[in-house]
A and B are shown apart, each in its own frame.
Chain A
Amino acid sequence: MEFFHKQTRIAFMSTRKVWYALSAVLMIGSLGALATLGLNLAIDFTGGVSVEAALPSAANVDAIRTELERAGFREPQVGIFGSSREVAIRLPPDDSRSVADIRARVEQALLAVEPGAEVRKLDVVGPQVGDELRTSAVWALTFALILIFIYIALRFHTWRLSAGAIVAVMHDPILVLGIFSVTQTPFDLAVVAAILAVVGYSLNDTVVIFDRIRERFEHNRRLPPMVVLDQAINQTLSRTIMTKVVTLIVVVALLFLGGPVLRGFSEALMIGILAGTYSSIYISSAIALDAGLTAEHVFPTVKKTAADDMP
């Protein structure tokens, strides 16, 4: 079996303006959504309480909410998830109480309304811990990007390729964040992990294509750069698609079978992998091309002597 029996000859580069426009729209939309809607941060980052309980009979959501309010909690969110006999409670952080006190009160309130409730999961995160996790997540992303920039700068000898790789690497996590913002999917620590993995994977594709660009230039340095870039993408296309299909198989398995804990994680990976495939094919090389990449930049022909530099 083969996706492409013959070597494909798709002219990727000639349509690049279209993809620039699409990506620009996606980026502006994502950043706009992040700025206006923000992310639906899970208690990992905000602090607060999250409870999941299984009940013997259908949950009386309103009664639980009232009881929580009576126990002194502001804005309790009580909802049903899974079946009507599974209830999820979410409370905002409360500076004035100790973690131990909060837990005791929530449990009490729940058991007062639903005596047979089995608390399956109860997380109480102090506001300070939430703040710190938020900071460390931002640091992790920043730091990963810095390291990757350094890697790219060292790896490709010309800034033209580096620029392409950096834009592609920024493109994918922003899109993931944008979609999480628009859909208000809960954003927890695992999603941060997924985004970092996406950054790694997306760069991986770009690197493989750039590797091939270098090889093509080495092979025939007289060809116009646009042709070389198209060749490189076409020659690696079946690998790109094959790898993505296989990775998507496992991510889909995770998404549908991994349960609610891994849902956000799997969704982020799924979006990121699709975006990464697109950006490494259409964006990273195109930017290098528009930055004026030629064989000369990849393999400088004449070694300059000191005399050449003289005016």
Chain B
Amino acid sequence: MTTFNTSNQNTDPYASVRETTEGRVYSVTGGDWDDLVTEIGATQEERVVVNMGPQHPSTHGVLRLILELEGETVTEVRCGIGYLHTGIEKNIEYRNWTQGVTFVTRMDYLAPFFNEAAYCLAVEKLLGITDQIPERASIIRVMLMEFNRISSHLVALGTGALELGALSPMIFAFRERELILNVYEMITGLRMNSAYIRPGGVAMDLPEDSIPKLREIVKELRTNLKDTEKLLVGNTIWMKRTVGVAYLDLPGCISLGVTGPVLRSTGLPWDLRKTQPYCGYENYDFDVVTADSCDVYGRFLIRIYEMEQSLRIIEQALDKLKPGPVMVADKKIAWPAQLALSGDGLGNSLDHIREIMGSSMESLIHHFKLVTEGFRVPAGQAYATVESPRGELGAQVISDGGTKPYRVHFRDPSFNNLQATSAMCEGSLIADVVAAVASIDPVMGGVDR
């Protein structure tokens, strides 16, 4: 076990000290803060720069925070991002429109269905088929997005609490998240990155007898989510760490383009599901949860109660589901959705293979053309938005009339909201920086794309 060396010749590979033109720089990549405090205390300087991350357990992935401290007070915070940049937006330009889904689903990896939905809504807008999406497909989309909202909020709450030193909520949150991942596996064949929502509808229908199972899971979640809630809501220690911390009011949010729970914690009930509905959200009965405290505790409460609202929406979606198609009728667009879920995941349906290989050459040609070349999307541009667990997720999609996207840009809420870190943290204590970042809930896969 490496110990924190208090001499200048620091040998700890995970936490080092070096002299720069800006002064002495401390790199913190986990370990005991007390050791760092002791070391900093030994120096005679008032102002220290602490480099926190990018490999730090409480920075939500590979976020790098550059903190300037005066004693324990943070005077300046800068974020370093880009450590998870994977060039998804560039790669999409080399694949056809349907394959784009498999890329975007990997952006914000805690909210894959939202990425898929935003992209598909934009592509459908370009194709002019928004009105032709079958109702069943929209309902399945809504249902999956709401399950996804719960699973994403659970990670935000679980890891957020963990970062502030509360271990038990994480155990409960991940127990519940497991139930939801099982739902994804049952419906799409994969626990994440499912590429299930496709331009025109969804990849395949729900498996038989899934509705009773889903109802059972919703019932179980309704009981179990109370555990996380009971542990934290009104908990004195939790409130001491969160109430009044990372204050950001409405003008601040608007100016910084912050959306989602952080915006709603200022009391403004701005939720795209209500204000600019998509996928038929106007037909569901649910409430927009707000808080008026503008702090970490308010954002935490919003996430807790939004999960309940999501369960309400899922129940209504299950009631609305009627048998019918899950892909647009236009066979020139509908990817041959004859996929089937078997023991080893999602794959081609054997019946369909039998038909295209054995009896219908035209089906084979059609299948081949659509799968290899893809469909064409009329030239133009569209911007589609969905309310992701973190705020407004926008897909700016441009087509030049070809079979591949000309340009796809994702306006990811994590990317935008993370800018608010400085506004929330400067002037506060160093311990509150962790709370502030947790309350923004950035997902670096979405930030860096």
Instruction: State whether these chains interact.
Output: no
